[in-house]
Amino acid sequence: MEAVAPKIPMTLQERDEAPDVIRVPATWEDYLELAEVVPYTIEFLFGEIISMSQATDLHEQLIAQLIVLFSNQLDDQPSYRVLGSNVKICIEEGKAEFNADLSVINGPSDYVTLSSGRVSKARIKNPEILVEVLSKSTRAYDQSDKLDQYRLIPSLKHILFVSQEEVFVRIYSRTEQPAQWFDADYRSLDDTVQLGNIALPLRSIYRKTPLAV
């Protein structure tokens, strides 16, 4: 890890003073080691450690509201669990790993087994729904690199992107053909996003934000 660590901020203050997007070449093992010690989120894709700018309060408010909405609608379905952003989503060990802003799991978690043989309960491979709250600095990355990798997850049925810059929600849903997805955009507070039996009114998503006017 010696060749990687000097290029990665090791404190929150250093991260705040660094560029919005950091990409550093690294091995999977370098990434796993650093992920245990840096006090902010890092991700891994195709031999690079990636760090995006830190979340705003509006970003966190939207996530909190979405967790409430999902939790309320799935409360009577005990097999479903709603998880926050600290759980990592792993797509083929050693290839890609991300922190989705919100994930929904149906049934037991499929955990990642590390090269050491240890099972990591902080890493799962079987989400059914993933949610990302977009910002100016993360929009392109979330809707390109991350989207491409998310669609490789066999268990995944829906991917939801929520903007914090405007009233805008985009959903990708898997069709009966596993490799085919359809997408739809929602731009009005009067719209409702439907994910199977889950209904997410945009007015509820953006409640108590400056965009709810």
Q: Report the pLDDT value the prediction gives residue 173, as an integer from 0 to 100.
A: 97
Give the confidence band of 5 by pLDDT, cuts at 50, 70, 90.
low
Residue-wise pLDDT tens digits, 136-182: 888 888 898 999 999 999 999 999 999 999 999 999 999 999 899 99
Q: How confident is the model at residue 19 (pLDDT cuts 50, 70, 90)?
A: confident
Instruction: Name the average pLDDT for the chain.
Output: 92
Q: Please check the confidence at residue 1 and state whether its pLDDT lies above 70.
A: no
Contact 169, 185 (CB under 8 A): yes
Q: What is the pLDDT of residue 55?
A: 80
Question: What was the pLDDT predicted at 165?
Answer: 93
Judge whether residue 2 has pLDDT over 70.
no
Cβ of 175: how many Cβ atoms within 10 Å?
10
User: What is the C-alpha to C-alpha distance for residues 187 and 162, in angstroms, rounded to an integer?
Assistant: 10
pLDDT (mean) for 71-99:
93
Domains of the chain, earliest start first: 5-51 (no CATH), 57-205 (3.90.1570.10)
42-48 average pLDDT score = 94
**Average pLDDT score over residue span 78-88:** 95
Helix (H) or strand (E) holding 15: helix 12-17
Could you give the CA distance from residue 76 to residue 93 in angstroms, rounded to a whole number? 33
Confidence (pLDDT) at 180: 93
pTM of the full structure: 0.92
| Cβ neighbours around 100 below 10 Å, total | 23
Work out the average pLDDT over 17-27: 90
Contacts 24+ apart (CB under 8 A), 82-86: 83/124, 85/41, 86/122
| Residue matched to tokens 């898997």 | 174
